[in-house]
Each structure stands twice: as structure tokens, then as C-alpha cells.
Structure 1
Amino acid sequence: MVRGVLEDGLLAWRGIPYAAPPVGELRFAAPAPVVPWEGVLDASEFGPIAPQPFSYRLIRPPSAVVPSDEDCLTVNVRAPIRDAGDSTLLPVLVFIHGGGYSAGSSRDFSGQGEGFVQSGRIVFVSFNYRLGALGYLDFTAYSSAERSFVSNLGLRDQLALLQWVQDNISGFGGDPDNVTVFGESAGGNAVTTLMATPSARGLFARAIAQSPPPTAVYSQAVTSRWAQDYVDILRDVVGARKTADGDAAADGLALLPPQQLLTEAPVDDLVAASVTLQASIPDAYPGAFCFAPVVDGELLPELPIRAFRDGRAHRVPLIIGTNDREGSIFRGRVDILPRTPERIDALFERAPVSSQQAMRDAYPGLPGLRAGADFGGDYGFWYPSTRVADFHSRYAPVWSYRFDVAPRLLEILGLNATHGIEMFTLFDSTEEPLARIMTSLGGQEAYAAAGERMRAFWLQFAEDGIPAETWPRYEERTRSTLIVDAEDRIESDPRRERRRAWNRFIPSLAG
């Protein structure tokens, strides 16, 4: 039994374990069954967030200290209050938070979902999963008879959560046969990856991928190198702590074999090493994200983009889309896209010579700041999303969108409708401090209205699998796309010339 709370006119249950704490012998192990508790579990407070490198700024309510812990595998449920005797099961929305698989949590404003639940039409689920090296590096090469390491831990956590929903959500008023999984950014990647994961079959009926990087999934040949780089960095981190703190135990730890080092290192050292690795990857491997799923031949047998192309992805209805200028926000600490001249040159060196002029024509001024940002954002998010839409539409219903609404301040700053901008308005959170700053110079009304329309589409899709009669299905022949703007419109094959340039530039995705 669990005991929730009544909050803002809604029922809320928080911090419910959906798997055993992944600590001790279970660090780097697949999620294990929940440890039973006695009596009634107090589900009034969020569980700790997954260990991550900095305090996440989108937490609500504000807190000076947001606790993090390896024991982070918890789920939250929000449901509308219903009339006594109403036993009708409601559709379920399961939200997977973003954050580059290295940050974020179910405590974020987007993980709480009041705007959706206040409709009275759905039950909303959010959850934490393992991040960074603890969830998204492949250490299987270091497995031994004494200690095994499991791949795709964050993905396995997501599967465990979806199984928990199947087994338990009816007790909260949700229909396990009508589950829509949706996420943004890394959460969108999780959605497209789950659609290509055979063991996810039957765990959800529909999917929504917002600004996903669908091709951020890599072979073991690549991820094993990243794992080795990480172990080397971790030794340096532990050694530096010994030098700084005079910690003799740290000196001994740095000399341990990789298996022991990974299992015995303090979590703060693991996170510190993650930061260093993540900062090095965009230059060493332009266009790559080091914390991402791996094609391990077991849980994930092939690249998701190939599964979509060949019809092996789960044939569920899909909404997929991106924002107008995905790449404009990726600067400073989140400068992970191939948007600098050096990174762009590296991609051009890998592309067919015959494709390069068409690509430069598609992005006038490349590798300048604006053109480089659009090139990098399209490489990571928009173009591969168009390929997922093309491929999946051959086998299942697809709806495509582009979010173009940008408050005036973001236009002045040259960010426009950048990555993640739709989240505040979609989740009816335009009063959040950052959203208020964004709309301080105007545009709040159009921004809020766009989010309200999107939320209506998502709710309708969760209920019956069709977002709106006025939103045509996506087909390769027409590529009809909803442009969410001050006034919505439908465009056929938007940015056609860019798409054609990318088809020649990355022939492996032209499919």
C-alpha cells in the first residue's frame, strides 16, 4: 500500500520504488525487483534524483539543496479526483525527462504534469532513471567471473518502469492497455530507442518523441573506447583527490583493477569523471554524445534507425517533431553539437565530396555562428527525426510537427524557437521564473496559447491515437507537417532542400 497526498486539487503519489536500490553489488547491474516494505509507504515526497554534475535549475519547488543518491529508481503518479464509484480506467501518459542522459529528474516542472492531469482525462507518470556513467556507459568489457557489468542500464530502468506501470497503474486509475510514452531531448531518444527494443513490445500503445536525437545510439566498438577513456579519467580524479585531501585510501583505490575501481569509487568521483569525459567527446568524436544507448546485441540488437527503416520497430502510432532552431542554445557548458568550424570540417571530411557543395548551399555562411548552430542542430535532431518519420510512416501512423513560437527576448538574443523552448508552455508552466524572463519583453500570450494547443493534441492522441482531425498524417509522398506558430499551419515537406542535402551528405540515413 502507498499513501499519497492531495495537492492543487489533484492526487499525487511520489517517490515510490519501482526497482531495488542500484547500490553496492547492484551498481552497474540490471534493475532488480523492488524490495518489499511493511505497512503503508508514505508517498508524499519525491525520492532523490540520480547523481549528476550540477544542481539542476528546473527543479520545482525551489530548493537550495536537491538530494541526489544512487538509490534513485522511484516513480511518481498524478491523477485527477473522480466521483465515487467511477471505476473507468484513464489513459496513461508516461514522461521520460531529458537532460542529455546526464542531468534532470522527475522533480522538474515537466515531470509533474499538472496541466495534463487537470484536464481530468489522464493519469500522469514520471520517474528517475540512472544517468551519466552509472546509466549510460558500457563497461561490459570489464566483466569477469567475480563481477559482471551490464549494458544499457538507463534503458533497462525505463523498461522496468514501464513494466511497473503494466503491473500497478490500474490501482491509481490508469489503463495499462492505453499507455503513451513521451519524452523530450534525451527523453525523446529514449522513446525512439524503446520503439526499437524488442522487450518493450506491449509496454506502450503510442509514442511521442519531442526533439529526439534518434541516431545517438552507438556500437560497442565505439562505446568500449569511451569506457576505457572514462576509467583512465576516473583514476586521475581519484588520484587528484588523494593529492588534494591527503587521502591515503584514494591512493590505493586509484591502483585497483578497473572492476574494483568502478565498483568501489565514491559516487562523487564517478560524477566528476563523467563531466571530464563528456567535455572531451564533442571534439574527439564530432557529432557524438558519449552518454547514450549502445547496440549490445542483446537488449538492443540493432541501431534504432535501421529498425525503423526495415519495419522492425514497434508499429505504434507516433508523433515526432523538433523546434525551429534546435542548435542555437548549445553554447558554453552544453556545447555538444557539431557547430564549431573544426567539428563541421570533421563531418565534411567523412561526407561524399559530391555532397558538400549542396550542404554549403543549404546553410549559407557555414561555418559561421548562426549557420553552424543550425547545421549542428539539424544534424543532431531535425534531420534524423525526418528519417524516423519517413521510415515509420511506411508501417504505422505518424504525425510530424515543428515548433516555431519564440518569445520576443529569444528572438532578440538570436535563439528563436530553440531546443527545449516548448517545454514550459506545453506543461503550462509559463509562470516559472525562467519562462517569465523569456516572455518579459512580449510574446507571452502567443507562447502560452501554442502550448495549450499542443497539450490538447497530446491529450487527444493519448485517448484515441489521433491528435486532431485537422492535423494530417505524415506520409513520405507529402511529408505534411504541423507548424506550431502564432497561427498553426500545415506545410508540405518543409525545408525540402536541406533534407535533400542531408540525404546526400549522410547516405547511410537516406535509406
Structure 2
Amino acid sequence: MRSRHQVPAPGPEVKTTGGLVRGITRRDVHAWRGIPYAAPPVGERRFRAPQPVVPWEGVRDGSRYGPVPIQERVGEFIGAGRTTPMDEDSLTLNVSAPTTPSTEPRPVMVWFYGGAFVVGASSAPTYRGDDFVRRGEAVFVSVNYRLGALGYLDFSSYGTPERPVESNLGLRDQIAALEWVRDNIAAFGGDPDRVTIFGESAGAISVTTLLTVPSARGLFHRAIAQSSAPGMVFGQERARAWAARYVTALGADDDPLAGLTTATPHQLLGAARVLRDTLGDQPGTIPTAPVVDGDLLPEAPLAAFEAGRAADVPLIIGTNDTEGRLFELPRLRMDVLVSEERAAQMFALTQPELREQVLAVYGGTAFRRDLGGDYMFWYPSVRVMQAHRGPVWAYRYDLTTPVLTLMGVRATHGMELFGVFGLADKAPWLTLLGGRRDLRAMQQRVQDDWIHFAHHGTPASHWPTYDADTRLTKILDRADRTESDPRRERRLAWQGFRGYD
């Protein structure tokens, strides 16, 4: 009996800076998986900036994804699944390209996954990207980067001249991957002068942050931020206080550097759980996030946008209708201000004078379902929309299905991924009660826009640019429409809110 699944054929060999890689070919797509873009960040390289890739002898097998970064196993939709190998040696990326020849180099789309900087992997089935390759005549790249304590807690104050420790390691990984793309992507048929970075959630925070990192300038030329939380970048004083709590949870107060560099991954994850459980005094923060370190990241991204110091590349940016509702679900609970008491505490620590005017506009809503998502994702994204010096196309994703409506989450955080990655026929639970036709039509429109943007720097559809006067925003729904200044009352209530440092 013939298998239902096509067995991949050996693909072409490509020479990279590390050596030769042999890919696989399946359904008109060449794929090269698990390509190292930096040296393994293990041993003396733990908590160090990524180092140049270690060359290999012979031809490397590119048929399998590399190990996923160290993380909790919390489900394959946003994480690494339960069976994928996991290892600190995870700084790899994957490249997919059309099998058809081309006389011109193709645009490159580089994907950064989400997961609150604590879970995620480029090997998750959600992020295959084959639709962009087949439909868009593009080269698709997905990147692993370090997560959690290994990637985003700031332990730099514990370093010594003999054993330095750098900050923002996950962000540095992403920059190293973009440098690899610059130096290698032409061998895969890609155009190093037409690179679009895009991501969702933590991946979108990465996008909006990279727009403000001086050393990332010139490594990409367009950007798409899907549900970014641009304000989830914190000052070094706060970040180092979180690092100190982590060291205590690890039991390494006597010799923090030794404890950090010799702990097992299991011990590192255990300390991260303790840190997470002790952050109740700082609602609406995540300790695993980029830090304004005065080195790689000289200032807060929102401040850089508003001062005109962000890279002025074309930008698509938007959020979903009900961002915060995802985090009410069991096993996905996060502190997105899911109670009035937590919100009051957050305002007391940030700008108490704005508390009453903000809370007043949510009086007629299910409180915990709306304010948290607006605080973390929507309003900071609006600040980017109105401040960015390059062309901006703004959206709000509203499409829901009967199942999502019945669950009470509607178009919540992450739901646009089904359209972007063409998953209408791969997630039957989502359309169990109907809505598949609408989702199929949505994925066609969204992919058309994303692909055209990668090729030309503009969306394919009629989509006016955003500016601070008209605030024209595309509402992605069963029938797309354009609105001027959607949720104006909420925006005015939040106006002037700066958040944590």
C-alpha cells in the first residue's frame, strides 16, 4: 500500500559559511533544516553573545530540524511539543525555497516565533511557511533563538573580565541569524537586499525592538509585527533585580556566576518557575524580555520610535480584536491584568493619575477580558503606528469562528496565525461548527498582502497608510473594511500612559 505521505527526496547541496548542507525536496519546495548560524552556546559560551559558526567536514544532513531551545513543554501550538529533542545547542535556522528556477533573486521572509520569550521553536508545525514559498515565490527562513533565563534575563552584572556575561542574548541571536542571512541567502536563491522580518507576540516584540537596535540596521528592509507588545522592554535596574531573584531561586547567592554557568537545564527551568511565581508585586510585566542595556539596546524602543530614531523601513503592524482573552484559558494563564485589583496595582506602580480615566472606558465590558490585552498589545502598538517615520499599514484582526465565539475568546491573541500560515484545513477543531470558508478566504487575502509586501514594500490590497491625523486602520474580517481611529475612546483614555520603565 502506498503511503499517504510523500517521502521527501534528497534536495540540492548548498555551500554556507559553515560548510555544505544537503536539503530535501517535497511538493515543489526545497528545504534545508537545522543549519547552524552560530557556535553552540554551551560550556564557556553559555550566557555569552553568539560566536561564529563552527565549520563542519563533509556534507551536513539538512533533512531534520535542530533541537529546540531549553523551555517548558506546554504544547506545540506555541512551544516545542512533547517529542521534539531539546538542547542548549539550538542556534539553528531553516530555509525553504521554490524548486522552480528563477532568473532573479527572490525576496526573503524571516520568521521569529512567539511564546513570551520562554517557549517556542522554529520547528513547530504552525510555522512551516510553505505557502509563502509556493504562492509567493519567496525564500522563507525560520530561526531558533535562546529563551528564558538562557536568552533574556540580564546576568551581565555577575560577569568578570575573565568570564564575561552579555545581556539580550536572544536578541543577539536574532541579529546573528540576520547576519547569516545577509552572507548566505544568495546561495539559496534569496535576495539579501529584500529581507522582511516578521513575527507574532514575542516574535513581534523582537521585530519592533530590532527596528531600534543600531547594529541591526541594514540587515532587513521591511517589517511585519503581529500582536507586538512594544512596551515589554525594561530598564536595567529592574532587569537586574529580577536576575537577583532568579539567582536566589537557583540557590546560587554565594557564587552566582558559578551557579549560573554550572546549573543543569532542569535546574534553570526550576528557578524560572520560582521567579515567575514571585512576581505578583509587579503586575503586567514579564521578566524574560529585552532590556535597555545601554549597549546593544541603548534606549527603550517606544522612546526610540517617538524620537524618530527607529529604522524607517516600511511596516505592517496590528493586533487582534480580543488579545487578552487567550490568557484566561487553562494552562495558558499569564498575568495580563486579569482583575481590577491587579490593574489598580499596576497603575499605582506606574501612573496612578491615569487610573480612573482608563478604567472608566471599560465599565461596560467584561473587565478582565479587554483591558489587559489593550494595555499589553494594542495601545503600545498604536504608539508605534503614530510615531514610526517610515510608511505604516495598520490592521486589527477581527475574524472569529463559531467555536471561538462559543469559547468566549473570539479573535484573540494568536488567531491571525491561522490565516498567515494557511491553516484553515489543518486545524479542524477551529471550524468544527462552521467558518472554514471565511478562514480560507482570509488566508488568501492576508498571504497576498504579506507576499506583496515582501516583494514590493506595499500590501497587495487597497490599504491606506496610517498617520496620526486619520489613523486609517484595516479591519480584517469576513468582509474587510477600513476605519478611522477605531476605539478612539479607549485610545484617548490611555493617551499619555508610559507604563513601567
TM-score by structure 1 length? 0.91
* Shift, 1:130, TM fit: 0.2
Alpha-carbon distance between aligned partners in 2 of 1:128 and 1:107, rounded to the nearest angstrom: 8
Q: Which amino acid aligns with 1:71?
A: D
Alpha-carbon distance between aligned partners in 2 of 1:229 and 1:350, rounded to the nearest angstrom: 19
CA contact 2:153–2:242 (8 Å) conserved in 1: yes
Kindly report which structure 2 residues correspond to 1:69-108, keeping only aligned pairs within 5 A, or say none. 69-83=87-101, 86-108=102-124
CA contact 1:219–1:294 (8 Å) conserved in 2: yes
Q: Which residue of 2 aligns with 1:257?
A: 255
> Which of 130, 143, 149 is the matching residue for 2:159?
143
Q: Which residue of 2 aligns with 1:250?
A: none
Aligned to 2:458, what secondary structure does the other structure show? Answer: coil
> Which of 400, 408, 411 is the matching residue for 1:417?
411
> Which of 14, 22, 26 is the matching residue for 2:45?
26
Kindly report which structure 2 residues correspond to 1:27-42, keeping only aligned pairs within 5 A, or say none. 27-42=46-61
* Shift, 1:468, TM fit: 3.0
Per-residue CA deviations over 1:77-117 (Å, capped at 9, x if unaligned) read: 0001113xx33100000000000100010011233101111
Q: Which residue of 2 aligns with 1:289?
A: 286
Alpha-carbon distance between aligned partners in 1 of 2:75 and 2:210, rounded to the nearest angstrom: 25
Kindly report which structure 2 residues correspond to 1:112-511, keeping only aligned pairs within 5 A, or say none. 112-235=128-251, 257-281=255-279, 283-331=280-328, 332-333=330-331, 334-350=333-349, 355-365=354-364, 370-392=366-388, 395-432=389-426, 435-468=427-460, 470-504=462-496, 506=497
Aligned to 2:135, what secondary structure does the other structure show? Answer: coil
Corresponding position: 1:48 with 2:67? yes
Q: What is the percent sequence identity of the aligned residues?
A: 49
Alpha-carbon distance between aligned partners in 1 of 2:75 and 2:453, rounded to the nearest angstrom: 30
Aligned to 1:119, what secondary structure does the other structure show? Answer: helix
Q: Which amino acid aligns with 1:409?
A: V
> Which of 19, 22, 31 is the matching residue for 1:12?
31
Alpha-carbon distance between aligned partners in 1 of 2:464 and 2:225, rounded to the nearest angstrom: 17
CA contact 1:193–1:214 (8 Å) conserved in 2: yes
CA contact 2:69–2:144 (8 Å) conserved in 1: yes
Per-residue CA deviations over 1:175-227 (Å, capped at 9, x if unaligned) read: 00000000000000000000000000000000000000001000010000000
Q: Which amino acid aligns with 1:312?
A: R
Aligned to 1:272, what secondary structure does the other structure show? Answer: helix
Q: CA RMSD in A?
A: 1.8
How has the CA–CA distance of structure 1 residues 361 and 114 changed in structure 2, closer, same or farther, with 3 Å as cutoff?
Answer: same
Aligned to 1:330, what secondary structure does the other structure show? Answer: helix
Aligned to 1:3, what secondary structure does the other structure show? Answer: strand
Aligned to 2:207, what secondary structure does the other structure show? Answer: helix
* Shift, 1:424, TM fit: 1.8
Q: Which amino acid aligns with 1:33?
A: P
Q: Which residue of 1 aligns with 2:10?
A: none
Alpha-carbon distance between aligned partners in 1 of 2:433 and 2:66, rounded to the nearest angstrom: 37
Aligned to 1:4, what secondary structure does the other structure show? Answer: strand
Moved over 3 A (4+): 350-357
How has the CA–CA distance of structure 1 residues 232 and 353 changed in structure 2, closer, same or farther, with 3 Å as cutoff?
Answer: closer
Per-residue CA deviations over 1:434-453 (Å, capped at 9, x if unaligned) read: x3112111112112211221
Q: Which amino acid aligns with 1:300?
A: L
CA contact 2:231–2:499 (8 Å) conserved in 1: no
Name structure 2 gaps, 5 residues minimum: 1-19
Q: Which amino acid aligns with 1:24?
A: G
Per-residue CA deviations over 1:397-420 (Å, capped at 9, x if unaligned) read: 000000000111111111010000
* Shift, 1:262, TM fit: 0.2
* Shift, 1:335, TM fit: 1.9
Alpha-carbon distance between aligned partners in 1 of 2:194 and 2:324, rounded to the nearest angstrom: 34
Q: Which amino acid aligns with 1:429?
A: L
CA contact 1:362–1:497 (8 Å) conserved in 2: yes
Q: Which amino acid aligns with 2:245?
A: D
> Which piece of structure 1 moves more, 38-47 or 254-263?
254-263
Q: Which amino acid aligns with 2:274?
A: T
Q: Which amino acid aligns with 2:88?
A: E
How has the CA–CA distance of structure 1 residues 275 and 11 changed in structure 2, closer, same or farther, with 3 Å as cutoff?
Answer: same
Aligned to 2:76, what secondary structure does the other structure show? Answer: coil
CA contact 2:28–2:100 (8 Å) conserved in 1: no
Q: Which residue of 1 aligns with 2:125?
A: 109
Q: Which amino acid aligns with 1:272?
A: G
How has the CA–CA distance of structure 1 residues 442 and 146 changed in structure 2, closer, same or farther, with 3 Å as cutoff?
Answer: same
More helix, by proportion: 1
TM-score by structure 2 length? 0.92
Alpha-carbon distance between aligned partners in 1 of 2:58 and 2:350, rounded to the nearest angstrom: 61
Name structure 1 gaps, 5 residues minimum: 236-253
Q: Which residue of 2 aligns with 1:240?
A: none
Aligned to 1:181, what secondary structure does the other structure show? Answer: strand
Aligned to 1:118, what secondary structure does the other structure show? Answer: helix
Q: Which amino acid aligns with 1:329?
A: L
> Which piece of structure 1 moves more, 355-364 or 164-173?
355-364
